[in-house]
Amino acid sequence: MSIAPFIKEIGRGAAGARSLTRAQAQELMATVLDGGASDLEVGAFALAMRMKGETLDELAGFLQAAQERCLRIASDRPVVVIPSYNGARRLPNLTPLLAMWLAREGARVLVHGQPQDPGRVTSAQIFHDLGLPATQGEADIVSAWARHEPAYVDTALLDPRLQRLLDVRRAVGLRNSGHTVAKMLDPCTGSRSLRLVSFTHPEFGKLMHAWAERDGVDAMLLRGTEGEAVADPRRQPRIDTYIAGVARPEWSVAAQDGVVAELPLLPREIDASRTALYIQAVLSGEKPAPAPLARQVQLVLGALSALGAPARPLDRRA
């Protein structure tokens, strides 16, 4: 099936483009993921949506198509789902620290992303240097959870069709709707998931809040660190938590105002090996944890309790 009729609607430029209905968006993404569109059409789709910008209905339709095709991971307890698709360029990527800290406190944590990204330090690379390689299937994920470790899954295993859409970026040089969908994806079944979703642009943040409210999502939304869903270690960002689409202020926090009086001790180099050493030092208590990250851990654990996860006192060593 050709997606040319859809491209005709969305490709008229920022002023003339028409938005798709949720059903149309689902059909479009399903066709793209199932290989029903040519490479030229997929590139046109990626660029047209980049210029137009997605509506809430379009994102919901795209997400539904991706959800129906991704690997399903069974859990009888709530899971913290952390998408990791940006990596680090200037600050250390502390998504693995957040994931390991939560797992140590008894939370089931699933991180998904790409193994490499030119010019960035990915969570996959840091997990590897921490001795936590990518899982190869559901059995590995269950084993990681049993050891109170986060499970990391490559997108190529989660959904190779979605990975192919993400790879279009290497050809056209821009992110596309697939990257947005990946951040919203919930691969878990059998129990509820708390999705940690970051945003960098205020417009996208508004869309994510509207999505959480309208679709009854369990989510923690924040302006993350360089696009990663982890609190900036230098200054407390605003964090908004939704349970079944309802804003929960008790597990949210306002952005820090004023001048930062003291900066945390962070590694000077942000490569995977030195970031891994820093993470180990924080988890062992050798180095202090950044206060914003400690606060995020508390908020996530509180939100998990509302989803039915067993409560466990926070380990104060870090």
Read off the pLDDT of residues 59-96 as tens digits, 9 standing for 90 and up. 999 999 999 999 999 999 999 999 999 999 999 999 99
| pTM of the predicted model as reported, rounded to 2 decimal places | 0.94
So what's the pLDDT on residue 259? 59
pLDDT tens digits, residue range 100-132? 999 999 999 999 999 998 889 999 999 999 999
**Residue 63 parent element (H or E):** helix 56-67
Write the CB contacts of 16 (distance below 8 Å, at least 6 apart in sequence). none
**Residue 12: what pLDDT?**
85
Q: Which token pair is 69? A: 């095709």
pLDDT, tens digit, 9 for 90 and up, residues 184-227: 999 999 999 999 999 988 899 999 999 999 999 999 999 989 99
> What pLDDT score was predicted for residue 309?
76
Q: What is the pLDDT of residue 77?
A: 95
Does residue 314 surpass a pLDDT of 60?
A: no
Q: 315 pLDDT exceeds 90?
A: no
Q: What is the mean pLDDT of the chain?
A: 93
Which residue has tokens 């596309």?
Answer: 176
At residue 173, the pLDDT reads 85
Does the structure show a pLDDT above 50 at 247?
yes
What is the SS3 string spanning 99-153?
HHHHHHCCCEEEEEECCCCCCCECHHHHHHHCCCCCCCCHHHHHHHHHCCCCEEE
Average pLDDT, stretch 280-308?
96
The CATH code that applies to domain 4-67 is 1.20.970.10
Rounded alpha-carbon distances, angstroms, from residue 238 to 18, 102, 252, 254, 313: 33, 19, 8, 5, 24
- Could you tell me which CATH class the domain 73-306 is placed in? alpha beta
Do the first three CATH levels of 4-67 and 73-306 match, i.e. the same topology?
Answer: no
Model confidence at 236: pLDDT above 70: yes
Domain ranges of the chain: 4-67, 73-306
